[in-house]
Amino acid sequence: MNFDAFFNEKLEGLKKEGRYRVFMDLERHAGQFPRATRHVDGQQKPVTVWCSNDYLSMGQHPAVMAAMHEAIDRCGAGAGGTRNISGTNHYHVLLEAELADLHGKEAALLFNSGYMSNWTTLSTLATGLPNALVLSDAGNHASMIEGIRHSKAERIIFKHNDMADLESHLKIHSGKRPIIIVFESVYSMDGDFGKLAEIVTLAEKYGALTYLDEVHGVGLYGKRGGGLAEKLGLMHRIDVIEGTLAKAFGVVGGYITGSAALIDYVRSFASGFIFSSSLPPAVAAGAIAAIKHLKVSQMEREALFARVSAVRAGLERMGIPHMPNPSHIVPVRVGDAAKCKWISDYLLDHDGIYIQPINYPTVARGTERLRITPQPCHSEEDIAHLLKSLNALWQQCALARAVA
C-alpha cells in the first residue's frame, strides 16, 4: 500500500470540505493578554485573541506565575515518573487536597488532561462495574464518548437534556444493573447548561451513579469557583465531579473528585492513570495558586460576565445573530465550514482579530460557528474593535449576511 498517498487523499477531502485544520502559531504575551504574536510565513503579526479557553486569564496571573517559578526552582522541571514510581510530588498531593475541598468531596485524583480524566475514569468504571449500563447525554464531549466506548459496556445515548428520554431508560434498567449517568454542566459549543437538578433527582430516584463534567464550569460558577453544581447547591448530590486545570485555572491537567472509595478504585485500576508520568510539579503549583485565588476572589468572574454582557449587547444592537445561552460562551452560528473559515480569515487578516472557526467533528455539520470567548483582560476598546469589525463584515459582505 502507498501509505502517504492514502493519507494525502484523506487530507484533500478535508480541504475540499473546508474543514482542514490550520493551527495558529501564537506567542501569547504574559501581562498583556489577550495580545499575542502570530508567526506566519516568517513574519510576526500582532493579534488579539478572542477564542481562548483561558476564560479568566489566569494563565498570566502574577500569583500563578510566581508559584510556577518557585516550584521549578524548588523541584526542577519534570515530576520524574508515574505517580507509583517516584512521580508523586508533594505539589500533586496538595493539589488533590485543594480540589477535593473545592468540590466538597472526600478525595481527588489528578490526570494529565481533562480528556484523560474523562476517558480513563469512564472506561475504568464502566468496565469494572458488572454489566454496567451507561446513559450518556447526546451532547457529551469526545473524551467521555471515547472512554465509554473503550469500556465496551452497553451505552444508551439519551437526547440532549431530555429528562423524559433519560427516565424512560432508567425505568427499564434500574434495579437490574449498575447505571452511570454521564453529563456536562456547561456544553461548550452551544454554551447551554445541563439540567443538573433534574438529572440528580432522577439518579436518586433510580439509584444511578452520576458523573458530571464541569470542565467549562470550574472557576467560573459558584462563590468559590466550584462550578455550576456549586452555584446550584448540588455538589453533594453528585457522585463524580470531573474538571480541567487548563481552562479557567489557566494551566493544564485534569481531575476527578468523589468518595474516597471511588477515587481509590480508579487510582488502583485505571491504566490511563497508572501508566502515565505525572504532571510537572510547577504545573500543579500553578493550579493550586489559581484555585486558591478563585476560591476567594470574585473580581475575575465579575469582570468576565461584564465583558460577556457587553459583547452580547453589541451583537444585539448590530443585529448579528448569536446563539442565546446563560453562560460565558458567545457562539455566532455560520452554518457552513468554508464560509466560517472565510470569515475567520478575514477578521484575522483585516483586523488582527483571532476567532478560530469551529467545524465538524467539534460541532455537527451545518452548525459551524465562530465561538467568541470574552475574558476579563479584554478592554472596552477591544470589545469596541471586535464589534466594529464584525459589524463592518456583516454589512459589507453579502456572504456573511446570507449565512447568518
Query: Which range of residues in 112-120, 318-326, 387-395, 396-404 is near ligand PLP by CB under 6 A?
Result: 112-120
Q: Which of 50, 55, 91, 115 binds ligand PLP (CB under 6 A)?
A: 115
Measured from the Cβ of residue 101, the count of other Cβ atoms closer than 10 Å reads 16
* Residue 150 CB-density burial (10 A; 0-12 exposed, 13-18 middle, 19+ buried): middle
| Shorter beta-carbon distance to ligand PLP: residue 254 or 258 | 254
* 161 near ligand PLP, judged by CB under 6 A: no
Q: Which of 121, 188, 327, 356 binds ligand PLP (CB under 6 A)?
A: 188
Quote the least distance from Cβ 189 to ligand PLP, whole Å. Answer: 8
* 215 near ligand PLP, judged by CB under 6 A: yes
CA angle 69, 74, 78 (to 5 degrees): 80
* 136 near ligand PLP, judged by CB under 6 A: no
Query: Which range of residues in 211-219, 293-301, 336-344, 360-368 is near ligand PLP by CB under 6 A?
Result: 211-219
CB within 8 Å of 359: residues ≥ 6 apart: 18, 19, 337, 340, 341, 368
* Residue 73 CB-density burial (10 A; 0-12 exposed, 13-18 middle, 19+ buried): exposed
* 141 near ligand PLP, judged by CB under 6 A: yes
Long-range own/partner contacts, residues 80-88 (CB < 8 A, 24 or more apart): 80/277, 81/277, 81/278, 82/274, 82/275, 82/276, 82/277, 82/278, 83/273, 83/274, 83/278, 84/274, 87/277, 87/278, 88/278
| Shorter beta-carbon distance to ligand PLP: residue 143 or 151 | 143
Q: Cell numbers at residue 29, please?
A: 504575551
Whether 195 is catalytic: no
Handedness of CA 345, 347, 348, 354 (dihedral sign): negative
C-alpha closest to that of 214 among 175, 240, 237: 240
Q: Which of 89, 118, 367, 375 binds ligand PLP (CB under 6 A)?
A: 118
* Residue 37 CB-density burial (10 A; 0-12 exposed, 13-18 middle, 19+ buried): middle
Q: Which one of the listed residues 105, 195, 231, 247 is annotated catalytic?
A: 247
| Shorter beta-carbon distance to ligand PLP: residue 173 or 195 | 195
* 143 near ligand PLP, judged by CB under 6 A: yes
How far apart are alpha carbons 87 and 177 in whole angstroms? 37
How far apart are alpha carbons 160 and 68 in whole angstroms? 39
Binding-residue total with ligand PLP (CB under 6 A): 14
Query: Which range of residues in 33-41, 213-221, 328-336, 381-389 is near ligand PLP by CB under 6 A?
Result: 213-221
Site for ligand PLP in 238-267 (CB under 6 A): 244, 246, 254
Query: Which range of residues in 67-75, 114-122, 370-378, 380-388 is near ligand PLP by CB under 6 A?
Result: 114-122
| Shorter beta-carbon distance to ligand PLP: residue 184 or 190 | 184
| Shorter beta-carbon distance to ligand PLP: residue 91 or 115 | 115
Residues of the shown chain interacting with ligand PLP in the complex, contacts defined by CB under 6 A: 113-115, 118, 141, 143, 184, 188, 213, 215-216, 244, 246, 254
User: Would you please indicate which residues are annotated as catalytic (active-site) residues?
Assistant: 247
